[in-house]
Copies of this chain bind each other. A is one copy, B any other.
Amino acid sequence: MKYSRQAMILKLIEEKDIETQDELANELRANGMDVTQATVSRDIKELRMVKVLGKAGVYKYAAMERQDAVMSDHLIRVFS
């Protein structure tokens, strides 16, 4: 089921640094969710996730905060 999987994705990226979609797919499978990279890619798109440069200078996936007001999308800020 899609929504529990997407919820799991958001949880996973908070708990650990996920560098690739394959890695995320592996984590999901380790949590009993059978899924491929293609689906992870679609989930990432729906969740409007991004790949950001982490502190260690390594790329990792991150979630966007929900924002319902009108906004531009060429300026992004990282939050604590």
Contacts and interface: CB of A to CB of B under 8 A. Distances in A.
Interface of A: 13-14, 45, 48, 50-55, 60-65, 67, 69-80
A73 B50 contact: no
Contact of A80 (B14, B45, B48, B72): B72
B76 A77 contact: yes
B55 A76 contact: no
B73 A55 contact: yes
Between A53, A78, A79, the greatest number of chain B beta carbons within 10 A of the residue's beta carbon is seen for A78
Contacts of A53: 45, 48, 73
Contact of A79 (B13, B14, B55, B76): B76
